[in-house]
Every structure is written in C-alpha cells, then in structure tokens.
DNA sequence: AATTGGTTCTGAAACGTTACGGTCAGGCAA
DNA sequence: TTGCCTGACCGTAACGTTTCAGAACCAATT
C-alpha cells in the first residue's frame, strides 16, 4: 500500500483534466464556471479526500491571514481573571467576529524574552494591550509591517491608539477626596515595571514606571494633591506585582501599619480596592466613617460593593481597538480614540473624621 | 518616487550577493554561517527595512502554523463571561503558551451558518469546545486534515476527547438529594439545542438535545430518580437559551409557579443555580429549609455562596485538551481523558420539610 | 601527496495557492 | 459576412520561504 500524498488543487485538476484555476474557482468564484463542472469538481474532491484550498497557501497568495494578533505579555491567568482585561478581550473579540476575523493570542512566555512567537504569527495586524513600554515583544510587533493598535499604552509615533485619560480621571477622583477634606492618603498600585517590587515605591520608581497606565494614574493623584499643598513625595505608595484582592489587602495592611493616621486609601484598580476593603474590615475599621477606600475601573464586583471608583468602558475599548485595526474607522492616521470615563461615587468615601472624632468617637 | 516593494529574503540575498539559503540561515540557523556574514546580513536587513522571514510563507513551507484553533460557536460574550468556559480557555491558553503555540479563536457568526472561517484558519489543529452535535462548524473542522480534540462533546469516531462523566456526576448529586428524601424536584437547564426554547422542555426535546453535556446531565438525573420510582416524565424541566443568573432566576420562578410544592430545584450549572437562589430569596423561601438548590461546575462564586454542586476541574480540562493536541500525551489513538469530579455538599441542600412542617413550621 | 573532516556557502526544488491577462467557441445583431 | 460580446476555461507567474544534497575551501592528519 502506497502512502497517499494528500490531494491538492493541482492533483485534483490533473485528475479532472482541467486547470488549477478552474478548481480554485469552483471554491472561490462559483460564477466563473458552469454548475455542472463545479459539481464534478466538488464531487471529485470528496472522492479524493481533498479538504479544500489550503488556508496557509491561500494566505500567502492573497496576503491576508484573516486574523488579528493580540499581544498581552502578562501572565495569561491575569488576562483571564482580571475583569477589566476580560472586558477588553470580549470587546475585541466581538469586533473581530463582526468582521469575520480570527483572534490570534500570541503566546508569550513571561519568563524568557523570546520574541520569536511575534514573528511567527500569521496575522493581518496586531493589538497590543497594556504591556510595559520597554517590552521587547512590543518592539517586535512594531517591527512587523502590519497595522497595529496599542491600548492602555503610551503613544507610539505613527501608531493608532485607544485608551482613556487615566491621569485626568484619577485627578477627578482625587479632587473629590480633596473636597471631602482628605489630606493624609495612602496609595496602592499595581506593578510599575517588569521587575518585581512588592512594597513601597519610591518617587523615582513611580516616575520611571514602565506601565503607562499606572504611571498616569499616579501622576493624576500627584497633580491634584500637589495642587492643594500635599507633598507628594511624602505620600506612601505601595506596589504589588500580582494583581489580586489578596494583594490589595496586604498592600493596604502595609500602608496602614506604616501610617495609621491615613484617612483614605486610594487604589489604582478595583480589584486592589476590594482587597483593601477586606483589610479594613479585618481591622475593624468602618468604611467610610473611619477610612475612605477608592478604586479604578468600574467592574461589576466593585459596583456591587458600592465602591467609589472611576468607571471606564472596558468593552468599548476592546471594540474600538478592533474597529480601528479592521479599518471601520475613517480618519487621518495615526488615529487616537480616547474614551470617556465617569466618576462613580459609592458608599466607600466620606469626609475624614476630625482628630477630635478620632479620639472621642463620632 | 517609486513605490518601494517590501524587501524579501530574495531581494536581501541579491543585495548582498549571497544565496537565499544563507539569508534564511542567518535567521534560523545562526551556526550555519560565519558570524561576520550574519552580522552583515542582519545589518543590511535593517537598512532595507526587511522585517524578517514572512510567517505565512514560512508556514507554507514548513507545514506548521504555530497555532491551535479554538472553535466555540457560542456567542463570544458567553465564553468570556461564563466562569467555566473561561477556566477552560485559561487552561488551554496555558498549555499553548507552554508549547509556544498561539491560540486562534475562530470567528463564528452564530447567526449565519458560515463555515468559511473554519477553512480559512491557518492552524495546526483544532480544539472544539461544547458546540451542538449537529453544528456545521464542527463538521467543517472534522473535514480538515488536522488533529482535533473535542471537549464537552460526545465521542466522535477517531477523534481525541476530553471531558468528565456528566451523567455519573449528576447521578451522584441526585443520589444525595434522594437520600435526603427529596422526591418532588424541578430542574433548570441550559439550552438543549440550537433553536431557542425558553420554557418547559418536553421529554422528547430532552432526549433529542444537541448539547451533549446538558443531555448527559439530565440523563443522570433521570437515572437516579427513575431508580427510586420517580416518574421522570412528570419532572418539570425548564430550559433557558441564554446562560445567566437572571435566566436562572426566571426559570426557577417558572418552575415554582407551576409546581409550588417542589422541595428541590436542581440546576445544570452554578450560574443558573445562583439565579435560582436569588429567586428563592425574593419569594421569601429559606434555603435550604424551604427549598434545596443545587448547581454544577464548582465555580468560585458558587463556593462563596455555599452552593451544593459538582466541582469539575475546568482549568485542567483546558490544559488536558491542549496537551492532547500538542502531543504531550502518549497513548493509543484516539485518546480519551475523562477527568474526575467531586460532589461538594454546601449549605443549600437539606432534607425536605415534611408536609406537617410545611403547615405548622419547623 | 593524499585523505579526512569541518565549516561555509550555494542552486534548485518544492510548499499549494490565486491573480492576471489571456484564448476560444458560440451566439447574436447589423 | 462581419464584428462584437459573453461565458467558460486556461497558462503562467508570482507569493516568500525552507530543505536538501552538495560544492568549494581550508586545515589537520596520515
């Protein structure tokens, strides 16, 4: 028994005594050949076990892969657990689905700096979501001659971008707390750079942060509190590498241990804030009477908890990125879409207690 | 100014006066040429703006796409919201990442029966997750000459498979309720087939269900309750097309409206069960004193709610599917991996109240 | 001087498809 | 008859890469 080589367009054509073009047309342009011949072609295909035109060969010829690459860099458990990332993913997937494009998740080994996967991905474009500015994968993506959209990233010369105004949004939240009377605040933020630092983040580290979003949110706080005379360099900022409520709790604990007289803990994400709430509860601190806690993102769980936060349209962000990439948006290039955010005042913020109240109760 | 055609391996080779092979080697087999020449190649590449070997052409030649296709059929918002699907996705993504393979989400428009996307996907294999037996996309996948793994699907001749024993697991849960004394039960299940039916599901519809998992779970219940003399055809089963807590609540409501003397509502998923719990609360029914509610899956939210349920290793399922596809599992083909489940007895199940208790209180 | 072995590089042949510009026969109107 | 159109099909040339068997060269060994 001989090893049957898999059938190809050419072998089918040979078998039928027609040209390759005709067989190709049978699949791609039914109007270009007689129904009778087409029927014969398809039947012979079935008989020979020809599975239809090879997608890769077609892609090579047509210069279209039919898929969008998504670069996440982050640990995947992060992407699939973090509600904000998930919302983005869903929005992007919806946009792709609507355009009949696949979504190709680029495998990134967070340990090794192996950029090969980026070069190996047969895609028509890339979406890069929230990777550090100095990520070599980002550089690899930019080196490829396909359109790219970055999201929750700083501007890159000549590259389309989707995002929110993190700095202004956080500034708005800060202003709210300032108007309530808060001056002694502590901050919990997500990882600032690729190297792990679970603990206080120096001013230098904050400003040199490689994660644009975190840097911008901290800057927004510095803007607002600086404007009312709070020396930002005195404001304790605790950083956590892994994004989880448990880490939010431990960071809040670290903050409160170091400075027990804080009146507010501002977190750069809702997940962290939910952890901070848990920690406050554990310590018997009433929220908001004894401690104000705020978040960022506006995820469902936060809403349920009544968290004061900034709501951002995560799904819309994903969808916008997809539309931008797939050309559904007409505009001069490079294009930029900055989506609106909204301050959600929940039940976790209130004026700080006066010193008197502190000692003698409300 | 002439339109510069993008540089290729060949044009680079010509520019340098070397063979294409050498340029190829510069990228893929650095040890096959002198460091000096390699340096020159890479530098010239930079100068000419050559972005490195084209992934599609490489795939054509090597017959490797470096990606795994994932067929979900379902509305994507489902996949990204349902915790069980998400766990599967994460496990699969982890397996792919570990093997340096991309994960290609095949775009499926649930409205149209457009199978083209399956044929257009340049992938080395497919994972098919929980699609109806008669889904044309599944047929399209099977027609392609690449390895395939189905998950939460019925056996397909000659195709690898990953899953759990839904029938036995549900039977185990049912037995538990039976031992507690429950005989008057109602069931809430997910969509049984591709056509929408929000309401009671006839016996015929149950048995003809195109979603294997749902069919198996109902069969498990029928097994166990039939064995103790409960006439399954009398057991009300309410079906909901969209998988959400809201639908779980409305289905439970429909059930309780029709048969107020039910002592237990068995749901085929935790999401539905959480909805049923909410509905019970809304009606002032105490759980478990007045009503037993059970779920299936063992998602985090269920655990938090103390739900009695079946825990299944969703992440492991995804990982197993990936490993099977990527050849990390040695075994005769077709292979099958049936993962273990665990009955989790929570606080939502208890013996039914006797008729006396019903009238006079506990 | 001949042999061996290694490194470095090359030429040609795939990989399987689609785009493009045809040809060719037949029908139809002037 | 001529000219023109249309439907049906075809031949060739890419698309950009990797693979494989070897050639050319040089140094070291016999």
Residue-wise DSSP of B13-46: HHHHTS-HHHHHHHHH-GGGS-HHHHHHHHHHHH
Average pLDDT, chain B: 93
CA distance B58 to A60: 9
Nearest-CB residue to A89 (from B65, B80, B120): B80
Strands (E), chain B: 67-71, 102-105, 126-129, 148-151, 160-164, 185-189, 199-200, 237-239, 264-267, 292-294, 309-311, 336-339, 342-344
Task: Kindly determine whether residue B101 and residue A107, on different chains, have CB atoms separated by under 8 Å.
Answer: yes
- DSSP state at residue B145: S
Question: Residues near A47 by Cβ (< 8 Å), separated by ≥ 6?
Answer: none
Cβ proximity of B45 and B7 under 8 Å: yes
**To 10 degrees, what angle do helices B212-227 and B166-180 make?**
40
Residues from chain A contacting residue B93 (CB–CB below 8 Å): 76, 80, 105
B292-294 and B264-267 strand pairing? parallel
Task: Kindly determine whether residue B56 and residue A56, on different chains, have CB atoms separated by under 8 Å.
Answer: yes
CB pairs under 8 A between A and B: 135
Residues from chain B contacting residue A108 (CB–CB below 8 Å): 97
CA atoms lying within 13 Å on the CB side of residue A254: 19
Query: What's the Cα-to-Cα distance from B340 to each of B127, B219, B311, B314, B317, rounded to whole Å?
Result: 20, 18, 9, 11, 10
Best mutation target, B29, B51, B60, B146, to test chain A (most A CBs within 10 A): B60
Task: Kindly determine whether residue A100 and residue B117, on different chains, have CB atoms separated by under 8 Å.
Answer: yes
Cβ proximity of B320 and B312 under 8 Å: no
- For every one of its 362 residues, what pLDDT tens digit does chain A have, with 9 covering 90 and above? 344 567 899 999 999 999 999 999 999 998 889 889 999 999 999 999 999 999 999 999 999 999 999 999 777 777 888 899 999 999 999 999 999 999 999 998 767 778 999 999 999 999 999 999 999 999 999 999 999 999 999 899 999 999 999 999 999 999 999 999 999 999 999 999 999 999 999 999 999 999 999 999 999 999 999 999 999 999 999 999 999 999 999 999 999 999 999 999 999 999 999 999 999 999 999 999 999 999 999 999 999 999 999 999 999 999 999 999 998 777 777 899 999 999 999 999 999 987 556 555 55
Residue of chain A whose alpha carbon sits nearest to that of B140? A51
**Angle at CA of residue A198, ends A196 and A199, nearest 5°:** 135
B-facing residues of A in 189-208 (CB < 8 A) are none
B-facing residues of A in 41-80 (CB < 8 A) are 51-60, 65-67, 76-77, 80
User: CB of B278 within 8 Å of any CB in chain A?
Assistant: no
Residue of chain B whose alpha carbon sits nearest to that of A46? B143
pLDDT at B78: 77
User: CB of B11 within 8 Å of any CB in chain A?
Assistant: no
Torsion of CA A64, A67, A68, A74, to 10 degrees: -140
CA distance A43 to A29: 17
pTM of the model: 0.93
Q: Using omega within 30 degrees of 0 as the cis cutoff, is the peptide bond preceding A333 cis? A: no
CA distance B179 to B175: 6
Residue B9 CB lies within 7 Å of the nucleic strand D: yes
**pLDDT (average), residues B274-296:** 97
Residue B66 CB lies within 7 Å of the nucleic strand D: no
Q: pLDDT category, B5, cuts 50, 70, 90?
A: low
Distance of CA B143 to the CA centre of its chain: 21
Task: Kindly determine whether residue A119 and residue B55, on different chains, have CB atoms separated by under 8 Å.
Answer: yes
- The string of pLDDT tens digits covering residues A212-248 is 999 999 999 999 999 999 999 999 999 999 999 999 9
Task: Kindly determine whether residue B96 and residue A108, on different chains, have CB atoms separated by under 8 Å.
Answer: no
Is the pLDDT higher at B6 or at A345?
A345
Task: Kindly determine whether residue A145 and residue B108, on different chains, have CB atoms separated by under 8 Å.
Answer: no
Query: What's the Cα-to-Cα distance from B121 to each of B62, B144, B232, B347, rounded to whole Å?
Result: 16, 10, 44, 47
Nearest-CB residue to B145 (from A6, A53, A81): A6
Residue B12 CB lies within 7 Å of the nucleic strand C: no
Query: What's the Cα-to-Cα distance from A183 to each of A169, A283, A346, rounded to whole Å?
Result: 19, 22, 20
Nearest residue to nucleotide C20 when comparing alpha carbons to its C1'? A21
A281 CA → C20 C1’, Å? 73
User: CB of A83 within 8 Å of any CB in chain B?
Assistant: no
pLDDT at A360: 59
B-facing residues of A in 314-343 (CB < 8 A) are none
- The string of pLDDT tens digits covering residues B220-273 is 999 999 999 999 999 999 999 999 999 999 999 999 999 999 999 999 999 999
- The string of pLDDT tens digits covering residues B86-143 is 999 999 999 999 999 999 999 987 677 789 999 999 999 999 999 999 999 999 999 9
**Nearest CA-CA distance, residue A95 and chain B, Å:** 10
Cβ proximity of B76 and B97 under 8 Å: no
pLDDT at B357: 64
List the one residue out of B17, B36, B83, B86 whose CA is nearest residue B318.
B86
Three-class SS of residue A239? strand
Task: Kindly determine whether residue A122 and residue B121, on different chains, have CB atoms separated by under 8 Å.
Answer: no
Three-class SS of residue A68? strand
Residue A32 CB lies within 7 Å of the nucleic strand C: no
User: CB of A139 within 8 Å of any CB in chain B?
Assistant: no
């Amino acid at each position: 028994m001989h090893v049957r080589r898999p059938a190809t367009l050419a072998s089918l054509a040979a078998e039928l005594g027609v040209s390759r073009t005709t067989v190709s047309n049978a699949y791609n342009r039914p109007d270009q050949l007689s129904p009778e011949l087409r029927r014969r072609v398809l039947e012979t295909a079935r008989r020979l076990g020809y599975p239809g035109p090879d997608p890769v060969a077609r892609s090579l010829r047509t210069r279209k892969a039919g898929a969008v690459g998504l670069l996440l860099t982050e640990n995947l458990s992060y992407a699939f657990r973090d509600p904000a990332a998930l919302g983005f993913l869903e929005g992007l997937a919806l946009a792709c689905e609507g355009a009949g494009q696949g979504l190709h998740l680029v495998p990134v080994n967070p340990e090794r700096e192996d950029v090969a996967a980026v070069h190996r991905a047969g895609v028509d474009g890339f979406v890069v979501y929230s990777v550090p500015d100095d990520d070599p994968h980002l550089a690899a993506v930019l080196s490829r001659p396909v359109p790219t959209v970055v999201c929750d990233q700083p501007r890159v010369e000549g590259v389309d971008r989707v995002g929110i105004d993190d700095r202004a949004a956080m500034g708005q939240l800060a202003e709210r707390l300032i108007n309530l009377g808060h001056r002694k605040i502590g901050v919990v933020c997500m990882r600032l750079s690729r190297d792990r630092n679970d603990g206080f983040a120096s001013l230098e580290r904050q400003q040199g942060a490689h994660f644009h979003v975190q840097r911008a949110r901290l800057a927004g706080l510095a803007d607002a509190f600086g404007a009312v005379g709070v020396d930002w360099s005195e404001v304790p900022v605790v950083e956590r590498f892994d994004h989880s409520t448990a880490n939010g709790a431990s960071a809040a604990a670290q903050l409160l241990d170091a400075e027990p007289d804080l009146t507010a803990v501002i977190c750069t994400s809702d997940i962290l804030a939910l952890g901070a709430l848990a920690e406050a509860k554990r310590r018997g601190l009433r929220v908001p009477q004894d401690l104000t806690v705020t978040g960022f993102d506006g995820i469902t769980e936060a809403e349920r908890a009544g968290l004061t936060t900034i709501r951002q349209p995560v799904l819309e962000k994903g969808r916008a990125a997809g539309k931008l990439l797939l050309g559904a948006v007409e505009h001069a290039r490079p294009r930029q879409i900055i989506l609106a955010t909204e301050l959600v005042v929940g039940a976790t913020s209130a004026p700080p207690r006066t010193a008197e109240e502190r000692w003698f109760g409300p």
